[in-house]
C-alpha cells in the first residue's frame, strides 16, 4: 500500500464495477461517491468503508424485493395446482399462511363422526 497516492479514485472504480441493480438502489440514497476526494490511502479507505455501508443496505433492499417477488410468483404457480385452495389460515406463530392438503382434510372431517361397531367388523 505504501504512502503514495493511488492512481485512480478507488471509490469511483468500485462503483463503476458494481452490480447495476445494487448501484441503482444505492444511488437513490447515497451520493458521497460522486464527491472529489484526495487519492491518499487514508481518505480512500474511509470513503470505501462509507461506500460499503451504503452498498450493503442497497443489496439487502434488493434481496428483500427479490424474495417478495419470488414468494408471490410461487403463490401464483401453486394456485394452478389441482386441489389447491388459497384459504389463509394461521400457523403456530399466528401468522397468516395457506392450508396444506392434510390440514384441509382434517378440517373437512372434524368432528370425527360417531362410529357404530357391528358384529363381523374388524377392529
- Determine if the pTM surpasses 0.75: no
In sequence order, what DSSP letters do the residues of 67-113 get, joined into one string? HHHHHHHHHHHHHTSTT----EEE-TTS-EEE--HHHHHHHHT-SPP
Task: Compare 14 and 83 and report the one with higher pLDDT.
Answer: 14
Banded model confidence at residue 95, pLDDT cuts 50, 70, 90 = very low
Task: Compare 115 and 17 and report the one with higher pLDDT.
Answer: 17
Q: Report pLDDT digits (tens) over 49-82.
A: 999 999 999 999 999 988 888 887 777 776 666 6
Q: How far apart are alpha carbons 56 and 16 in whole angstroms?
A: 16
Residues 6+ apart with CB under 8 A from 89: 96, 97, 98, 99, 103
Helix (H), strand (E) counts: the chain? 4, 2
Amino acid at each position: 500500500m505504501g504512502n503514495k497516492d493511488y492512481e485512480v479514485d478507488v471509490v469511483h472504480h468500485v462503483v463503476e464495477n458494481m452490480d447495476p441493480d445494487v448501484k441503482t438502489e444505492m444511488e437513490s440514497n447515497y451520493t458521497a461517491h460522486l464527491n472529489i476526494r484526495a487519492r491518499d490511502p487514508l481518505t480512500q479507505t474511509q470513503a470505501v468503508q462509507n461506500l460499503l455501508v451504503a452498498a450493503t443496505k442497497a443489496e439487502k433492499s434488493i434481496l428483500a424485493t427479490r424474495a417478495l417477488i419470488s414468494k408471490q410468483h410461487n403463490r401464483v404457480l401453486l394456485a394452478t395446482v389441482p386441489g389447491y385452495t388459497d384459504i389463509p389460515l394461521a400457523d403456530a406463530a399466528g401468522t397468516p399462511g395457506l392450508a396444506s392438503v392434510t390440514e384441509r382434510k382434517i378440517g373437512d372431517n372434524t368432528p370425527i363422526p360417531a362410529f357404530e361397531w357391528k358384529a363381523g367388523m374388524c377392529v
